[in-house]
Amino acid sequence: MASLPPALKKDDDIDDDSEYSPFYGIEKSAVLQEARCFNDRELDARRCAQVITKLLYLINQGETFTKNEATEVFFATTKLFQSRDIGLRRMVYIMIKEISPSSDEVIIVTSSLMKDMNSKTDLYRANAIRVLCRITDGGLLGQIERYLKQAVVDKNPVVSSAALVSGIHLLQSNPEIVKRWSNEVQEAVQSKAPLVQFHGLALLHQIRQNDRLALSKLVSGLTRGTVRSPLAQCLLIRYTSQVISESGPNSQTGDRPFYDFLESCLRHKTDMVIFEAARAITELSGVTARELTPAITVLQLFLSSSKPVLRFAAVRTLNKVAQTHPLAVANCNVDMESLISDQNRSIATLAITTLLKTGNESSVDRLMKQITNFMSDIADEFKIVVVEAIRSLCLKFPQKYRALMNFLSNILREEGGFDYKKSIVDSILILIREIPDAKESGLSHLCEFIEDCEFTYLSTQILHLLGNEGPKTADPSKYIRYVYNRVILENATVRASAVSALARFGAVVEGLRPRILILLRRCLYDNDDEVRDRATLYLSLLSDELEAAQDEAKAFLFQDLDVPLENLEKSLQSYEPTDRAFDLAAVPRDVKAHQQVEKKAPTGKEKKAAKDASQKAAEGKASNTFEAYEKLLNSIPQFAGFGKLFKSSTPVELTEAETEYAVNVVKHVYPGHIVFQFNCTNTIAEQLLENVNIVMDLVEGEDFTQAASKPLASMPCGVPGQVFVAFEKPEGACSLGRFSNTMRFYVKEVDPSTGDADDTGYEDEYQLEDLEITAPDYILKEGVSNFRNAWESLDSESERVDEYSLGARENLQDAVQAVTTILGMQICEATDVVPNNARSHTCLLAGRFLGDTQVLVRLSVGIDSQKQVAMKLAVRAEDIAVSDIIHDIINS
């Protein structure tokens, strides 16, 4: 038997059934040699097509061709136009597009392509249009524009679609030419060919996307039923959602324009149109329960579909809706429970996590049994999603911590990678911190885990927790064995952590100190320097019997400083060297400012994202996070001495959309100051703004005095920048006021061709919207894990109760949403969702007032037969004056 060629010889360790790529072992030089067959007098179409296929493979694998090589291949390829073989001609079109010849080479092939554009073969015409539009410049496009216009309305749908798709690409480089095709594109949208209608609608939207009124008219005209293509219908649904989001509900009736069209699409005969409409409805901003109902019903039907893609799409959408409207999704729980055993693990995982978000307290035990059988069949990335959902469920129903903690401990003992085990450990740590009753059982589970833990990071994290929390438990001695085992059995890093944990037990529990000293002396003979040094240090601290010495030992071991170390670390990381020295007094003394952002231990990706956000903040592009704002402000010397940042608001727009200058403002609240961060963007390419400043005048109020400002030196077109203005107010006061704002700047004209700015310019100003400081600006959203316990822990004498009439409302949901928006507090236990047809409801709110004062609110509402809504507001706070302020907000 003839031997196999070298590229196809089988290795001894490869199975006989292995498949081999036809491109295995090919080299660029060999393929370029083969390409000489393009010059043959008698062309072999099949061989030429194979060579082009190899060239395309090399290009798509990232192989680069030199200019000479690319030119040689291009000219050789152009000779293939003489072949009449349709298959080879299609390969030639693709090759020319991939080579992308230079402008001086394009002319060589242009005549052949234009000849094909007028060919009687429709396939030639369509492909020639695609290639010409890809490789030609604006000058040549003007010559063939007439042909392209005719092609848009061609009777052959393949040709028409090719012209429309080419128009979509050309719109990026030659928009003026494509915009002249509007009439032809509108005609294509009315085509009976589904694909032509789809591409026509896409191009028409691209042409009008910057004209809000024209886009609204387009959607209004097409929603009357002229679109028949399912693909085009899906596009129209998306464009309709865009118009709805930009216009918002009708201010007088509360109705959304075009919502009826979305609802009518739920009755379409095509599954993808139905799903697209349902998804669009669920993603509407501020969607109501009435609007959600038909979409949820359709998605519920998809859950029992025989098509896996429909089941996946439905359960993924419901999973997202469950984050904001859990009660609306609860009706689908029975159908989702049947998906737990679905063969597609992605569907099963989404079903599980959705059930955990929407289930009630009575269904927890049943769900845990189902999940136990499910966990062993899925990959780690799916398991992590389930663990995070269980953590949220436990915080929602603290009474069920035993069952949920046992579940987490059981899966912690199973096989799994680092990220999976870390997510479980982080969940247990959070439950221990948020649910005091879960501490004992959580520590026991973690002790058992470190006996067989193979991950150093997790072992040290758990040992640190045991050292801090173990001495405070009822029986601290039972943890000593687990900690000392790590000294005997683990690597040096874990041994050092175990020594520190042992020392903490000795410092706090006097009865265990003699035993701890014996164990620490054994560590003096360890092989590692760090372990020996720690043991020596802790022995010297704990051996002294004086009470003062013991207090010093505790302070050292437990880092009992007036500044939390994590705050000090963050402040040092955000500090940038300036003329002003680092000020320890500016470091926040309260760890809660960081805890509220770090409710869960960050994963590796989250750490990277946080680092990136901090870097953007340092560059003046701070993201909308507390930490990024804090770092940005601390880096500015004028504001570094203001103390601890209490709250940063969401951006407030001060200009209309699509104006020449876009400005929004973020309000940063300090105990005695308010810093206004104006985020400014210049949208005029022909202007460069310099020395940009915001002049703020106090229109209402009298407690504010301007303290500092930081103008923006330069603002080129499209580059965002920040202007800061700071006002001083009485320390700790809830000062209210309204400011008028004017942006003043120096304008220099810019030459669009060179980008150079004139040396001279002129002063100008731009009036912005007024800005208000309201009472909710002094309230920080901060939830509580157990509202009832938190409510009872506050002094009942601080409670203030009053009743209010809210007038006529459509339903209780509107009333609850209106009041919660006014107060700006954190909603607890998902009580902002009012059950359908409910006559009364109680909403629970929590937050912190300026001065770090906790405040809780019970908001009880009821509606009568005339739709008149009455409200009872009960407020408790750590300071009775804050309770009065909350009622003043409602009265105002």
If one compares 617 and 521, the residue with the highest pLDDT of the two is 521
Angle at 5 between CA 4 and CA 9, to 5 degrees: 60
Average pLDDT on 859-877 reads 87
**The two structure tokens encoding residue 542:** 């704990």
| Domains annotated on the chain, with CATH | 565-777 (2.60.40.1480), 778-891 (3.30.310.10)
**Confidence at residue 13, expressed as pLDDT on a 0 to 100 scale:** 45
Using CA atoms, how far residue 663 sits from 678, 727, 747, 752, 786, in Å, is 7, 19, 17, 24, 40
In this structure, what is the dihedral angle of CA atoms 581, 586, 589, 594, given to the nearest 10 degrees? -100
Instruction: Provide the 8-state DSSP code for 757.
Output: B
The CA distance from 475 to 379, in Å, is: 38
- First-last CA distance in the chain: 97
Q: What is the pLDDT of residues 714-735, one digit of tens each?
A: 888 888 889 999 999 888 888 8
Say if CB 165 and CB 134 are below 8 A apart. Answer: no
If one compares 620 and 170, the residue with the highest pLDDT of the two is 170
Q: What is the pLDDT of residues 380-401, one digit of tens each?
A: 777 787 788 778 777 777 777 7
Distance of CA 474 to the CA centre of its chain: 43
**Confidence at residue 103, expressed as pLDDT on a 0 to 100 scale:** 63
State phi, psi for 747 to the nearest 5 degrees: -100, 135
DSSP 75-140: HHHHGGGG---HHHHHHHHHHHHHH---HHHHHHHHHHHHHHHT-S-HHHHHHHHHHHHHH--HHH
Q: What is the pLDDT of residues 621-656, one digit of tens each?
A: 333 477 778 888 888 888 888 888 888 888 888 988
The CA distance from 115 to 297, in Å, is: 55
Percentage of residues of the chain with pLDDT beyond 90:
9
The CA distance from 715 to 708, in Å, is: 21
- Helix, strand and coil in the chain, % to nearest 5: 55, 15, 30
Nearest to 433 by CA among 281, 300, 598: 598
Q: What is the pLDDT of residues 520-552, one digit of tens each?
A: 899 898 888 989 988 888 888 887 665 555 566
**Confidence at residue 409, expressed as pLDDT on a 0 to 100 scale:** 81
Say if CB 622 and CB 616 are below 8 A apart. Answer: yes
Kindly report whether the global pTM for this prediction surpasses the value 0.95. no
State phi, psi for 230 to the nearest 5 degrees: -60, -40
**Confidence at residue 249, expressed as pLDDT on a 0 to 100 scale:** 58
The CA distance from 588 to 584, in Å, is: 9
Say if CB 769 and CB 741 are below 8 A apart. Answer: yes
Provide the residue count of the chain: 892
Average pLDDT on 186-207 reads 89
The CA distance from 713 to 540, in Å, is: 58
Nearest to 700 by CA among 755, 646, 763, 770: 770
On the question of pLDDT at 661 being above 60, the answer is yes
The CA distance from 19 to 173, in Å, is: 44
Give long-range contacts, CB 8 A cutoff, 24+ apart: 396-400.
Answer: 396/829, 396/830, 397/361, 397/364, 398/434, 398/435, 398/437, 398/785, 398/786, 399/361, 400/361, 400/364, 400/365
On the question of pLDDT at 104 being above 70, the answer is no
Q: What is the pLDDT of residues 543-602, one digit of tens each?
A: 766 555 556 665 656 555 566 767 777 777 777 777 667 776 667 765 544 444 343 344
**Confidence at residue 726, expressed as pLDDT on a 0 to 100 scale:** 93
DSSP 689-742: EEEEEEEEEEEE-SS-EEEEEE-EEEE-BT--EEEEEEEE--TT----EEEEEE
On the question of pLDDT at 178 being above 70, the answer is yes
If one compares 359 and 301, the residue with the highest pLDDT of the two is 301
- Which of 297-301, 423-427, 809-813 is least confident? 809-813
How would residue 677 be classed by pLDDT, with cut points 50, 70 and 90? very high
Average confidence score pLDDT of the chain: 81
The CA distance from 88 to 83, in Å, is: 8
DSSP 422-458: HHHHHHHHHHHHH-GGGHHHHHHHHHHHHTS---HHH
- Cβ within 8 Å of residue 775, ≥6 positions away: 734, 736, 885, 888, 889, 892
SS3 at position 846: strand
If one compares 563 and 845, the residue with the highest pLDDT of the two is 845
**Confidence at residue 506, expressed as pLDDT on a 0 to 100 scale:** 85
Q: What is the pLDDT of residues 754-787, one digit of tens each?
A: 777 787 888 889 899 999 988 888 888 888 877 8
Determine the residue type at 289. A
Centre a 10 Å sphere on the Cβ of residue 761 and count the other Cβ atoms it contains: 17
Centre a 10 Å sphere on the Cβ of residue 562 and count the other Cβ atoms it contains: 7
167 torsion bin: left (phi>0), alpha (psi -120 to 50), beta (else):
alpha
Q: What is the pLDDT of residues 52-93, one digit of tens each?
A: 998 988 888 888 888 888 888 888 888 888 888 888 888 888
How would residue 603 be classed by pLDDT, with cut points 50, 70 and 90? very low
User: 662 pairs with which residues across the strands?
Assistant: 681
DSSP 349-384: HHHHHHHHHH--GGGHHHHHHHHHHHHTTS-HHHHH
SS3 at position 417: coil
User: 854 pairs with which residues across the strands?
Assistant: 848
On the question of pLDDT at 35 being above 60, the answer is yes
Average pLDDT on 34-58 reads 88
